[in-house]
A and B are shown apart, each in its own frame.
Chain A
Amino acid sequence: MDLRTKYMGMTLKSPLVVSASPLSKTLDGIKKIEDAGAAAFVMYSLFEEQIELEQKELFSISTMGSESFAESLSYFPDVAEYNLGPDEYLEHIRKAKESVSIPVIASLNGKTTGGWTRYAKLMEEAGADALELNIYNIPTLTELKGEDLEKNYIEIVKSVKDNLSIPVAVKLSPFFTNLANFAKKLDEIGTDALVLFNRFYQPDINLDELEVEPHIVLSNPTEMRLPMRWIAILKGRIFADLAATSGIHYGEDVIKMLLVGANVTMLCSSLLRYGVEHLKDIQEEMIEWLEERDYESVMQLQGSMSQLNVADPSAFERAQYMKAINNYVINY
């Protein structure tokens, strides 16, 4: 079975890509990703804000209480060199490139326009094959208009694209008034791929302490419906490649995503839950399904059920929601 697919100009041996996750934090982890059969992987994200925070924190720690009391003018030795911020990440890219043969896609969450481009360039220089921009923030200002926010995003992506020669993907959240329009805008400035969708970690409340706490929940298969719908809608309407992520757990999930038009499928939660070896199972399930139905290649399948290619395009539209409710069977 020819599992090859194209993603951002790269020919990948299969559509199975490991998304940005702790799995790529160590070189060992990356080697395991390759050994399990991934066609590529997205490195865990570098957060510009975190880099700044860490630097400021280290500065604060190393100067805390200093030059204040005659006997203790400092509290820490002056260390020769610190592995701060991007250095560690960039070194990780370099080492990953040396260690594995599959493409390395770096991932960046910037804060400032300058930061986005500066770090993106550094990642390219470190050897990343492609870059995924992890545009990840929750706008909370009531005065901030949606159009201004979108404009800002477009500027960031454009600025990165203008400065880089490697392909650039944008990982999006689903929360846009008209996602299709925004996707088109990104497409117009040459974005090489859209990754649908970013899952925001939703905070929880600790009832004992009455505190808001981060609460990380792994995705479940039902979550794949949202990206699946939007990939179906966007396929054929924009030039950018499409990567599906969220809730892809089994071979059948991958097939569904490919059917609606995904160039690649990105996996994380299922691998965290079942181990990175699970990739092999997924691939086997995929092959089984394709072979049973006499498909020759993945490319043959891709987009065959996009909105443009299905008999009832409205099935992917809002009316379908109403229908779903009407058809819902109450089991109690």
Chain B
Amino acid sequence: MAYTLFFVASAAILFSVLYWSVTRELTQELEAGIEEDMRPLVTAYSEGRLQRLVEAVRERAQAARPGETFILLQTVNRAVLAGNIISLPPFTGWRELVLGGVKNEGEDIDRHETVLALGVQLDSAFLLVGRNLRRVKEIQELLLRSLAWTLAVTIVLAIAGGAALGRGALRRIEAINRAFQEIVDGNLSRRVPTRGTRDEMDRLATNINFILDRIEQLIVNLQQVTNDIAHDLRTPLGRLRQGLESARLKGSSIEEYQAAIDGAIEKTDTILDTFAALLRIAQIESKARRGRFTVVDLSEVSNRIIEAYESVMDDAGQSLSGNIAPGIQVPGDKDLLTQMLANLVENATRHCPAGAKVMVTLTNETAPILTVADTGPGIPTNSREAILRRFYRLEDSRTTPGSGLGLALVKAIADLHNATLTLSDNGPGLRVSLRFPAATDR
């Protein structure tokens, strides 16, 4: 509605200016013409008095186009001396007059015409020269009609256009509202429709969808953590309680109680470890840590891990070797990348029998690729996806220590760094590859 008013007001102002300037221009032209007619007559009077003037007026009156130029010379008491109109009450200066009985050129009818006239008092005589204002009035009328039409069309267009525009926007807002309502009702994967037009509404819809993606991710994340905690912490907590209860019932010596307490502390530590790992994964998955990324020397991290685990694996009858290209850097979190590689190496040593070989490779041909390959039992193809989930453990590895969170943490850290994690067959064994974004893609 406001738009409609605005359009109408602008059109009206535009026309007023046009009307005013056209009228002024035409009137000035007429005035100039009248003054031009008047000048020789006044000169005639000053040269030859009334006698000369009467002649001049007669000549002018005869030459004048009927209905266009009006001329009158009369005495003060309104006796016409010469001219083409009837006597008038004398005046001086500019005046608009309405004259009756005017015959236009080539017409027989008498008309009333509006005339712009200049009156001059010459001693006892009154001289008038006027021009018909008809053309000016006609143009003014034409302008007013155009204005009326334009305003009418503007109002119609503004109202119709505004309504169409408003309905379009309203429809799309309504679509967003419907999508929100569905999301509130529990359909978290619902998204706001987009048209791909890249206009403001579409960009808004795209951004809303982006936020919805994040919210869905966070909610799924939260549910996952809650489920994990409920599911996997209940068992060890139950065992802890059982241990304490049986010590309370059966304990008879200080030593037995101490052993029970040591056992309880150990179990509690395991629970706390699991809890910390879960929270850590959840936090990493929230991606808040990207703000702290620095340039990390992946080669240095790899060499440090190899140095740390070489002798550990040596003692376990396994071997760890590395082939690390120097000076490979990625943007990232050094602590997390260290932990990620440590987890991969620990995972390999834990699941491989004595005699196995573990190889850490870091190359940078098209992009930095970090690989940990072992010669152990490997992972069946159909389990490779599942193994990255929290608490997932292959049936035959239930007996080995570990929280079942190691690879889930690796996956979370890889995702945080936009690195692609691939599990493949090392023939025999497992090969875990992490492909970091190439320097050109960052």
**Do A and B interact with each other, yes or no?**
no
Residues on B close to A: CB < 8 A?
none
